[in-house]
Amino acid sequence: MGKRIGLFIGIFLPLNSFGQAIATEGSNDQFILLALVGFVFFVMLLTLLVAVYTLVILKRIIKNESNVSTIKSTEGSWWQKISRKLTKAVPIEKEEAVLLSHDFDGIQELDNHLPPWWTWLFYFTIIFAFAYLRIYHVWNAAPLQKEEYQNQLAAAASKIAESSSSDDGSEITSDNVTLSDDVAILDMGSQIYSANCVPCHGPDAGGLPNLGPNLTDEYWLHGGGIKNVFNVIQNGVQGTGMIPWKTQMSAENIQAVGSFVLSLQGSNPTNAQPPQGEIYHPEVESSETPVQDDATALDDSLSVDNQ
């Protein structure tokens, strides 16, 4: 008996803790979640009772076959009383009263009623279905799955918008981004480069064959300068291995890694890749070198490849 009680406590205490944790969140779905937890608790309780009852019945059958005379000594125990109330099973010695006359190969059936626990569970599912219908489809007290998904997307978009804003609340874009020489920002850009850019451009930014171009010379495929570099990192280049990093990096991080890349100009690393693109002149960036969009960048990339 002690083992049974310990089993109940060990299984249901975590459910109770989970219910309390949900209650503290204060969400709009608190009532529904608590109801679901209660339903799971109820089903597990019934399952355990059925399992334990089955074990008891098997034990009694084994004892009866072994001519053990200890069954009667347990018939009056509290557990036997609970089992009889839950199942309303006819005792073995009175089974002749519910024995059907139908006989098939020496096998006869008992006209037992459905166990009360099964009937209660069936009634509970009807009540639960009615409550679910009223809450979700009549009262609209809780969102459906599609609405929950849309709410989560909106919340994620809001967080992305917040993270892509600068400290003063203005969003950094390719139009207003500036080249930074702050040591802390360049160090952060170096870490971002090492984690994300090395596989294509190499650890020294000298480029790799058939992958990324050299970033340390004065030749650029899509324009140099912080504005163009920021745009390429943020939006990527269609048709190449340069993906748009705006879904994985904040605007501040893109500015940091762009500033770090430009700080490597003229470093001339060993085994650097040959020049690609055209020479970029920083002094004409604002007037003669507009930031290229994705379509223009794709055309330039294709023309260089054809050459």
The pLDDT of residue 22? 46
The pLDDT of residue 228? 93
Query: pLDDT tens across 148-157, in order?
Result: 999 999 999 8
Among 47-56, 169-178, 195-204, the minimum mean pLDDT is found in: 169-178
Quickly state the pLDDT bin for 167 (edges 50, 70, 90).
very low
Query: pLDDT tens across 41-66, in order?
Result: 888 888 888 888 888 888 877 777 66
Residue 60 CA to residue 130 CA, distance in Å, equals 41
Mean pLDDT over each residue of the chain, to the nearest integer: 78
pLDDT at 33 over 90: no
pLDDT at 288 over 90: no
Residue 208 CA to residue 175 CA, distance in Å, equals 30
Amino acid, single-letter form, for residue 279: I
The pLDDT of residue 97? 84
pLDDT at 208 over 60: yes
Whole-Å CA distances, 82 to 5, 56, 169, 276? 15, 12, 67, 85
Whether residue 229 contacts residue 155, with contact meaning beta carbons closer than 8 Å, is answered with no
Domain residue ranges in the chain: 2-138, 183-302
Amino acid, single-letter form, for residue 207: G
pLDDT at 178 over 60: yes
Topology at the third CATH level for domain 183-302: Cytochrome Bc1 Complex; Chain D, domain 2 (1.10.760)
Q: Which residues are registered as beta bridge partners of 42?
A: none
3-state secondary structure of 35: helix
pTM above 0.75, yes or no: no
pLDDT at 204 over 80: yes
What is the share, in percent, of the chain residues with pLDDT greater than 70? 76
What is the share, in percent, of the chain residues with pLDDT greater than 90? 33
Q: Would you state the structure tokens that stand for residue 207, as one six-digit string?
A: 């480029």
Q: Pick 231 or 32 by higher pLDDT.
A: 231
The pLDDT of residue 256? 94
pLDDT at 138 over 90: yes
Whether residue 276 contacts residue 216, with contact meaning beta carbons closer than 8 Å, is answered with no
Q: Mean pLDDT throughout 72-89?
A: 70
